[in-house]
Structure 1
Amino acid sequence: MYTNHEPWGKKYTDFHHGTGDEYYINDRFLNCLKTIGEGNFQIFPVTVLPEEKPYFILNILNVIDCVDRELSKYNLWTEEDNRPDKLGKFRGFDKMVLDRSKVPKGIHIFRVYGYQIVTVVTKELVEEFEKNDVKGFSLIPLG
C-alpha cells in the first residue's frame, strides 16, 4: 500500500500518511480491519485540527520476513553507502515478489521485514476497502 502523499487541507480521507512512518486512519478504515478479523495492530486516538476530525494513529505489529529473494530484483545497502545501521538490508526494489507461504493465515496487513516502508495488504482487505469505498491510498500489486 502506498499513499498518494496529498496534504490534509480540506481533503479528509480515510487514510493519511504522516510526516514520519505513521498512518492516520479513521473509523471506516478501522472497521474494515475489524470486519476481516485482523487484530494485530495498535491504535492511538488523535484529533486532526482545525476541524477536529477524529482519527487514529495505526501501529501495524505484523512484520514478516517473506521476500522471495530468488524472484525479486532489489539492491542492498553496502559499506560504500556509509550507513552501517542499514548494511545488508534492502535499499530498494525493482520487483518485489513475496513468498506467500511465509505469511501466516489470518494476517491481512503487515510490513515487510528489512524494508518496513512497504505495507502489504491482502486481497480480502482490498475487497473490504472497495466495498466500503475507503479512500486515501494507492495499491500496487505484488508478486
Structure 2
Amino acid sequence: MHLEGHLRIPIERVGRPLDYSEAGLMVPVVHVKTATALTELAPSDVQIIPADVEGQPDQYLVLVATRVIRCIDESASKVQLWKPEDGLPDMVGKYYAVDDLHIDTTQVGNAKVFRPEGWEVALIVSQDIKEALEALITTGANFEAVTS
C-alpha cells in the first residue's frame, strides 16, 4: 500500500493512550515502540504507515499485515458459513462467524504476522512476537491461543 502523508486518526475514547489499538475499525494502530519490534522481528510480514493520532505527541503507525494465509482449521474451530437463505448470494459458503479460532500450523510456513484467509478480522502473531510484545509491556494487546 502506498500513501502520501500521514493518516489522521481521531480519538473516540478518553483515557491513557494504548500501545496497540484497533481504532474502532479493526485497523491496528501501534505506538512506535511496538512498530519497531514488529518490523525488526517480522520485516516481510508487516508494513507500517505513519499516522497522526489526535492529541498525542508520540508517534503512532497503522500496522498492515502483508500476508493472508489459508489456514483456518475448520474441524477445530466453531465455523458458521453464509447460506443461500441468508439472502446474500455473493457470500454463500464464506465465513459468517469463526469462534474459538484454531489454525493449521502446517499452512503457516515462516509467517510471524498474518491474517487468516476468509476471516481477516483476526490478526495472528507467532509465539516469539507475542513474547516480545509482552516483554515491552504493550498496552492494549490481547492474545488468545489459536493452536492446540
State whether structure 2 residue 117 is matched by structure 1 residue 126.
no
1:30 maps to a residue whose letter is A
2:43 corresponds to which of 15, 38, 47: 38
2:145 maps to a residue whose letter is P
The answer to whether the 8 A contact 1:38-1:109 is kept is no
2:77 corresponds to which of 72, 77, 81: 72
- Structure 1 equivalent of residue 68 of structure 2: 63
| Deviation (angstroms), 1:108 | 1.1
| Deviation (angstroms), 1:71 | 2.7
State whether structure 2 residue 111 is matched by structure 1 residue 111.
no
1:136 maps to a residue whose letter is G
SS at match of 2:124: strand
1:134 maps to a residue whose letter is T
1:14 corresponds to which of 9, 19, 30: 19
2:78 maps to a residue whose letter is K
More strand by share: 1
Post-superposition, which runs of at least 4 consecutive aligned residues in structure 1 deviate over 6 A?
none
**CA RMSD, aligned part only?**
1.9
Distance 1:60 1:37, change over 3 A: closer
Structure 2's unaligned 5+ residue stretches are 1-11
Higher relative contact order (CA 8 A, sep 6+): 1
The answer to whether the 8 A contact 1:74-1:94 is kept is yes
1:25 corresponds to which of 25, 30, 53: 30
| Deviation (angstroms), 1:8 | 4.0
- Structure 2 equivalent of residue 86 of structure 1: 91
| Deviation (angstroms), 1:45 | 0.7
Structure 1's unaligned 5+ residue stretches are 1-6
| Deviation (angstroms), 1:93 | 2.5
Distance 1:56 1:8, change over 3 A: farther
In 2, Cα distance between equivalents of 1:12 and 1:85:
39
| Deviation (angstroms), 1:84 | 2.8
* Residue deviations 1:51-83 (CA, integer Å, cap 9, x gap): 343211111111000012233221101122222
State how many pairs are aligned.
137
SS at match of 1:115: coil
TM value normalised by structure 2: 0.82
The answer to whether the 8 A contact 1:38-1:108 is kept is no
* Percent of paired sites with the same residue: 24
